[in-house]
A and B are shown apart, each in its own frame.
Chain A
């Protein structure tokens, strides 16, 4: 494995991609969870498939088409749910399936053999090209920069939007920032875990971090570390056993999350029993 990392570009790319995706997970996953935008993120990820297919049809880099569709759907969901009686959930559901259908249509209309779309659907960490690393680095840099730049205001917006409004803070600007950051982040994650499993990578590491930490900075840092760990282990499994990386990462992280919940509950029960027992002692 170490020899492969040293000798093969695809392994080096895989490691860099895992690191970038983990940074994105820590930031975007936290925002999406705290602003309750997880199902919207799922809709955006699936809608981006329309853009990926569009790229194949017209012969340009599919990820740019995906990004265009992802940002477009994010803005649509935000605007329609704010300005009409249609709920965000409904419009998300429509864009979710519409994007997938459009993607399949475009891919089937593309000239030549129909390409294998498995890596876009389930992720393939071992097939990340150097070109992909360049745009993943660019997207991650944008997310990190914007997040650090607006950190304190974003935290306040995520925690208590009503209070932020009452304080006279421009919450619309922060909302736009979030609705643009999420699709950019999703395009980084798609390369690792694919469209279908993106929500899981956005959710699970952050949820594990929330079990362990009580402040936002720590949750973000812990989710990045947890995500790095899962991605590397997923990469190793994916290298030795021929299973898509996304599948390995998500199965592993789900099992760890469930195990941690059980362990935490047992510890809490034990502590509670000790307290009750202690209180009864004369």
Chain B
């Protein structure tokens, strides 16, 4: 792993039963960069994210993170229960929780400060006492990003955070991600090609294997601008 490389995938393969979602995947991600992960549905974007987050283990090959790195995973909201009685602050606070299940574990003031800072970074300081069911789609996604920030993760992976957002909410989200790049490494999977390749430093096109593009011009030239994958 070179000095600036923070994530490295080497010949990674993962199969769900008989079907291989990704095969022979190789790529490097540089520190404090924003990488867009694009590709068709079922191409393996979420599988790569789940491997990165430790939810899946590769069948073959290996991936490595730079020593001391941690992942903040922002999943798609398919399993998210909006009726769950939890406020924005409580949800973001849960990002600071101790990994070890310790008896009588309680949040300290330092945890609350960290959660409030994360909420501020995504511009939700006015909403910290709101229930999550009182947030708009865009606000909710920002709150989930704040939870990942509160966890002190230096790598944030976002699985289609801009799906089902209107143009304005998506633009707010992209602005936040650009700001986060100053001290975080960001990976974002998205179907909004034009928007994400404009803010990305590099693009990974995932369709079972990975093709890396190091400039937005190259992506537009090879895949065509405005295409919907």
Contact = CB atoms under 8 A, between A and B. Distances in A.
Interface of A: 34, 148-150, 152-153, 155-156, 158-163, 165-170, 173-174, 210, 213-216, 218-219
Given A153-B97, A166-B55, 8 more contacts: A34-B81, A156-B94, A159-B94, A160-B79, A161-B79, A214-B86, A215-B85, A219-B85
Contact of B107 (A152, A158, A161): A152
Contacts of B80: 160
Given A159-B94, A166-B54, A167-B151, A213 B85 contact: yes
B86 A169 contact: no
For the complex, would chain A's binding face be called helix, strand, loop or mixed by DSSP majority?
helix
B97 A163 contact: no
B90 interface: yes
Contacts of A148: 104
A161 B78 CA distance: 12
**Looking at B90, B91, B100, B107, which has the most chain A CB atoms within 10 Å of its CB?**
B90
Interface of B: 53-55, 71, 73, 75, 79-81, 83-87, 90-91, 94, 97, 99-101, 103-107, 130-131, 133-134, 147, 151
25 contacts: A34-B81, A148-B104, A152-B94, A152-B105, A152-B107, A155-B86, A155-B90, A158-B84, A159-B84, A160-B94, A162-B73, A162-B79, A163-B73, A165-B55, A166-B71, A167-B97, A167-B99, A168-B54, A169-B97, A169-B101, A210-B85, A213-B85, A214-B85, A214-B134, A218-B85
Given A160-B79, A166-B55, A166-B73, A216 B90 contact: yes
Contact of A156 (B54, B85, B87, B97): B97
A178 to B, nearest CB: 13
A168 B71 CA distance: 10
A168 B99 contact: yes
Contacts of A156: 94, 97
A28 B192 CA distance: 43
A153 B105 contact: yes
A155 B103 CA distance: 14
Nearest to B132: A214
